[in-house]
């Protein structure tokens, strides 16, 4: 049986943000304008976690929040016939290669205008080991992602890996909603295919 390593917690890793590359997200952005009611299909993040109350989430791939290293790898792909998949899939494949892993959750998160995601750090075995990426799709120079006393204004299309185990918050000081594409990659060493 696979043993969950004691050093897996990202809280022990030094980084706050790592910029991996920049993607052309223009086609993704265009497709997002066709989505409306889908933002309200799954509200569990907002219902369970008060710090996400100012957000909406649109899941493309979901993964059991109670996942642990003993659980078989299984994802649930949502909206499989939507055109947006053509533009998100290559980014997923690129990040899987980068981290020698498999995709976990994939979602769009919308932070409402003039609001914030309150300070928190993530917790669960899944969130401790995934490599979590944020790719801004719609943003501006009044949106700030703060982690552990570091602050960053991410630009559209930039792919940033964040250390979600450190205390973090997001502040949207603008009059427009901010939308990020979030992609989790589970390193192969934690994948249980049995």
The answer to whether 104 and 134 are in contact (CB under 8 A) is no
Cα R_g (the chain), whole angstroms:
16
Q: What pLDDT score was predicted for residue 47? A: 82
Percent of the chain with pLDDT over 90: 62
Q: pLDDT digits over 22-56, tens only?
A: 999 999 999 999 998 999 998 888 887 778 899 99
DSSP β-ladder status, 150-152 and 143-147: antiparallel
Is the per-residue pLDDT at 187 higher than 80?
A: yes
* Alpha carbons 46 and 37: distance in angstroms, whole number: 16
Angle at 18 between CA 50 and CA 27, to 5 degrees: 75
Please state the rounded mean pLDDT for residues 87-108.
Answer: 97
DSSP β-ladder status, 101-111 and 143-147: unpaired
Q: What pLDDT score was predicted for residue 49? A: 76
* Alpha carbons 107 and 10: distance in angstroms, whole number: 21
Q: What pLDDT score was predicted for residue 128? A: 87
Q: pLDDT digits over 129-167, tens only?
A: 899 999 999 999 999 999 988 999 999 999 999 999 898
Q: pLDDT digits over 109-124, tens only?
A: 999 999 998 888 887 8
The answer to whether 147 and 171 are in contact (CB under 8 A) is no
- Strand, coil or helix: 75: coil
The model's pTM is 0.92
Name the nearest CA neighbour of 87 among 135, 154, 55. 135
């Amino acid at each position: 049986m696979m043993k969950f390593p004691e050093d897996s917690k990202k809280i022990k890793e030094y980084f706050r943000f790592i910029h991996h590359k920049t993607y052309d997200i223009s086609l993704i952005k265009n497709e997002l304008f066709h989505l409306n009611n889908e933002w309200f299909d799954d509200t569990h993040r907002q219902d369970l976690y008060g710090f996400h109350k100012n957000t909406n989430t649109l899941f493309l791939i979901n993964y059991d929040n109670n996942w642990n290293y003993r659980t078989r790898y299984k994802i649930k792909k949502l909206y499989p016939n939507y055109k947006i998949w053509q533009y998100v899939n290559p980014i997923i494949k690129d990040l899987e290669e980068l981290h020698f892993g498999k995709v976990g959750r994939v979602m769009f998160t919308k932070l409402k205008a003039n609001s914030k995601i309150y300070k928190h750090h993530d917790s669960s075995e899944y969130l401790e080991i995934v490599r979590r990426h944020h790719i801004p799709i719609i943003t501006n120079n009044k949106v700030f992602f703060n982690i552990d006393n570091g602050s960053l204004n991410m630009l559209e299309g930039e792919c940033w890996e964040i250390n979600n185990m450190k205390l973090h918050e997001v502040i949207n000081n603008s009059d427009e909603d901010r939308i990020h594409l979030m992609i989790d990659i589970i390193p192969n060493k934690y994948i249980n295919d049995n």
